Amino acid sequence: MRTQLNALILAGILLPALSAQAQSPLPEVSPEAVVNTFTAGNQTAPAVAASASGSVWIAWIDRADAPAGIKARHFDASGSPLGPEIHISVLGFPNAPSAGPAIGATAGGGFVVAWAETPNVWFRRFDADGAPLGDGQRIAPSTSFETITFPGVAVASDGSFVVTWLQSDLLNDVVQVQRFDPHGASLGAFQAVATGSRNSLSSPRLASAPDGGFLVVWQDAGGVILARRYGPTGAGSAVAGLNVPGTGYASGPAAALAGDGSARVVWLAAGGIWIRRLSAAGQPVGPGVPVGLASIFFQSPAVAVDHDGNALVVGSDFNLVLQARLLKDDLTLLSGAFAASDPAFFATDPALATTASGDLVLAWTSGFQTTGPFFPQPSIPGRDDDGQGIVARIFAPIRCAAGSDVLCLGADHRFEARVSWRNPNSGDTGIGHSLPLTADTGAFWFFGDQNLELMVKVLDGTAVNGHFWVYGGSLSNVDYTLTVTDTLAGSERIYHNPAGQFASFADVGAFPSAAPANETTGETAALVVPLPAVACGDFAGLCLSSGQFLVGVSFTDPRTGLAGAATAVPLTGDTGAFWFFADSNLELMVKVLDGRAINGKFWVFYGALSDVDYTITVANTQTGEVKTYHNPRGTLASRGDTQAF
């Protein structure tokens, strides 16, 4: 029966279905890539910094190269390397690095790296080309009885910076901070952030603000997470305790500051990773809440905040896979948990930074540690094929995540689409939730994430008429308004669908190509979307409603007059899309809904982003019924058939 339906729908033309796997709700700007170019032995402990100029620096410890020490590498906003890896600490320093590195970027694209070589703390400055601005400088007075751990560095917009570290002697622990001017000259004496008896303080971490202010978080011997906020030049705030009663011993804090000066602090406790919001004055705002991510005890989580105050939290789970989750500004959940690293490789030591454009850079240690000839490497190598290596990827801003109210489209996410809707029967109103599909196409759902209602595409037609083109295809007849914004030019186009209509449109004069002089171009990788869990054999079209309905599309190529079969892209259990000429250019979306509770029928909806000649064929595998819908060339149509089956 299924073979007969395949032949009926596709007239003998079978194309391989697109492979798909569950992906993150964040569109990917760059795929996972190995950062280090020297791959022998182990490279570990990455640190990430993003400059206001848009570039990214990643630093790490290389324990195998000669000379061993700290290395770094420069990347542009799309994740492409801007040069080879460079040595930060080299032979001539007293010892191999014992802790670090920490890194902060200057506004012009340079950076400062700090690290520990017990009993010393060092920093070194570099320009935007990776050239050193002087030798490394030792900044901590030391004796042979002192141990230095957990170095941190934060750089202000004017180039001044602070370095923090945990200094321990035979009797005391002190979390220290030292300020420096943009040229690396000391600005006064050390400041003690916190003091305690030996082994009473641990894991200080530093987060910076553009004005030169910063936040220090740490853990005490009782498993309490503490925080202290500093202004650009003033004294620190009162120390704030962040633990949640009843969650037990807490450890491994990390923090990030938002643009308004508020902070998000994460840590490990009972139930996994927790998060709490702090005001710009460093005091808790609201309760701490569980993120819903499990994490191994000895691995600190990482957190970054986008320009809207939303947070990305990443931790290494019990399978040593990086798991992530998105949270809104008020710490309510924006997404479910998703894998942020390839599960084929162990992933630890996550580090995050937010770029000037709002992208999120994630780096981590990938692979299995090699410890010498008596402990051979396991059969699955690290990402650099020899022990551990440093891997990184870049995500689009959180506001572009699947499920948010913004659909980001075009190169560098230049265009943002939003939808508001009104149910004419109940009077209920709401906003559409986005589902990114390719670099230029996405969908929205209104009432449930399995029920897609609208498809939107922005194409670059500037080579034809000097404009970007906006297409819309509707699978819903509720009253809705689609607003598309050109973020570079600041202009908007508004498209309204009245209640009771299924509208498709093509606006080929939507946005002129002219943009501000600082416009940048770049490629955004197309996403592969989740595949519904249905068994449909070798059928090459859409398999919907657990296999009850098969959908195929045939089209006529207007360039050649030849017939072809469209390629299916499954989206949800009842909805999918098709492309005709390229997988980055979706042309049509089809949905089959179970409306039997209302009129005893299954309903078929389709929304078009193409005006070529095509025919949609839908087959009911349980009854053998077949329905076809033809779109003549030159027609841009959407339709809802509530009497289909």
Give mean pLDDT, residues 24-30: 86
Given this model, what pLDDT does residue 639 score?
87
Given this model, what pLDDT does residue 22 score?
42
How many Cα atoms within 13 Å fall on the side-chain side of residue 205? 24
How far apart, in whole angstroms, are the C-alpha atoms of residue 450 and residue 570? 11
Which domains does the chain possess? Answer: 2-20+528-641 (no CATH), 43-345 (2.120.10.10), 407-512 (no CATH)
pLDDT in tens, 213-225: 999 999 999 999 9
Given this model, what pLDDT does residue 226 score?
97
DSSP class per residue in 138-175: E-S---TT-EEEEEEEEE-TTS-EEEEEEEE-SSEEEE
- Could you tell me the pLDDT band of residue 527, with boundaries at 50, 70 and 90? very low
Position 71 pLDDT exceeds 60: yes
Nearest residue to 479 via CA among 428, 421, 417? 421
pLDDT in tens, 258-289: 999 999 999 999 989 999 999 999 999 999 99
- Could you tell me the pLDDT band of residue 250, with boundaries at 50, 70 and 90? very high
Given this model, what pLDDT does residue 344 score?
87
Give mean pLDDT, residues 616-645: 87
DSSP class per residue in 421-482: EE-TTT--EEE-EEEE-SSSEEEEESS-TTSEEEEEEEEEEHHHHSEEEEEEEES--SEEEE
pLDDT in tens, 278-330: 999 999 999 999 999 998 878 899 999 998 899 999 999 999 999 999 999 99
Given this model, what pLDDT does residue 86 score?
94
- Could you tell me the pLDDT band of residue 57, with boundaries at 50, 70 and 90? very high
Share of the chain above pLDDT 90, in %: 50
Whether 137 contacts 188, CB under 8 Å: no
Nearest residue to 237 via CA among 258, 216, 267, 206? 216
Position 146 pLDDT exceeds 80: no
How far apart, in whole angstroms, are the C-alpha atoms of residue 628 and residue 608? 15
Position 516 pLDDT exceeds 60: no
- Could you tell me the pLDDT band of residue 233, with boundaries at 50, 70 and 90? confident
| CB-based burial label for 483 (10 Å; 0-12, 13-18, 19+) | middle
Please report, as a single letter, which amino acid is at residue 33: A
Position 519 pLDDT exceeds 50: no
Whether 488 contacts 481, CB under 8 Å: no
pLDDT in tens, 155-197: 999 999 999 999 988 889 999 999 999 999 999 888 999 999 9
DSSP-derived pairing of the beta strands 415-422 and 272-278:
unpaired
Sheet holding 638-641, edge to edge: 567-570, 575-579, 586-595, 601-608, 638-641
How far apart, in whole angstroms, are the C-alpha atoms of residue 643 and residue 640? 9
How far apart, in whole angstroms, are the C-alpha atoms of residue 299 and residue 443? 37
- Could you tell me the pLDDT band of residue 382, with boundaries at 50, 70 and 90? low
DSSP class per residue in 13-55: ---PPPP-----SSPEEEEEEE--S--SS-EEEEEEEE-TTS-
Supply 642's token pair.
């509530």
How many Cα atoms within 13 Å fall on the side-chain side of residue 241? 8
Give mean pLDDT, residues 536-557: 84
How far apart, in whole angstroms, are the C-alpha atoms of residue 295 and residue 268? 7
Please report, as a single letter, which amino acid is at residue 547: G
Give mean pLDDT, residues 621-627: 85
Position 391 pLDDT exceeds 80: yes
Q: Largest alpha-carbon pair distance within the chain?
A: 85
Position 484 pLDDT exceeds 80: yes
* Other Cβ atoms within 10 Å of 300 Cβ, number: 23
Stronger pLDDT, 521 or 195, i.e. the higher one: 195
Supply 3's token pair.
């073979």
Given this model, what pLDDT does residue 562 score?
80
Whether 123 contacts 153, CB under 8 Å: yes
Give whichever of 213-217, 477-481, 630-634 has the largest mean pLDDT: 213-217
pLDDT in tens, 108-132: 999 999 998 877 889 999 999 999 9
Position 12 pLDDT exceeds 50: no
Given this model, what pLDDT does residue 375 score?
47
Give mean pLDDT, residues 394-409: 91
Nearest residue to 526 via CA among 357, 410, 358? 410
Position 28 pLDDT exceeds 90: no
- Could you tell me the pLDDT band of residue 143, with boundaries at 50, 70 and 90? low
Please report, as a single letter, which amino acid is at residue 9: I
How far apart, in whole angstroms, are the C-alpha atoms of residue 54 and residue 39? 27
What residues are paired with 366 via a beta bridge?
347, 389
Given this model, what pLDDT does residue 20 score?
29
Where is 576: in which H helix or E strand? Answer: strand 575-579
Given this model, what pLDDT does residue 300 score?
94
Q: Any idea what the Cα angle at residue 242 is, between residues 337 and 236, rounded to 5°? A: 125
pTM of the model: 0.78
- DSSP 8-state code for residue 7: H
Cis status of the peptide bond prior to 512, with omega within 30 of 0: no
Nearest residue to 438 via CA among 559, 524, 498? 524
Position 616 pLDDT exceeds 80: yes
The b-or-e profile of 340-356 (16+ CB within 10 A means b, else e) is: bbeeebbbbbbbbbbbb
What average pLDDT does the structure give for the chain?
A: 85
Position 341 pLDDT exceeds 60: yes
Give mean pLDDT, residues 84-98: 70
Stronger pLDDT, 363 or 560, i.e. the higher one: 363
| Residues ≥6 apart with Cβ < 8 Å to 418 | 405, 406, 407, 431, 432, 482, 483, 485
Given this model, what pLDDT does residue 536 score?
66
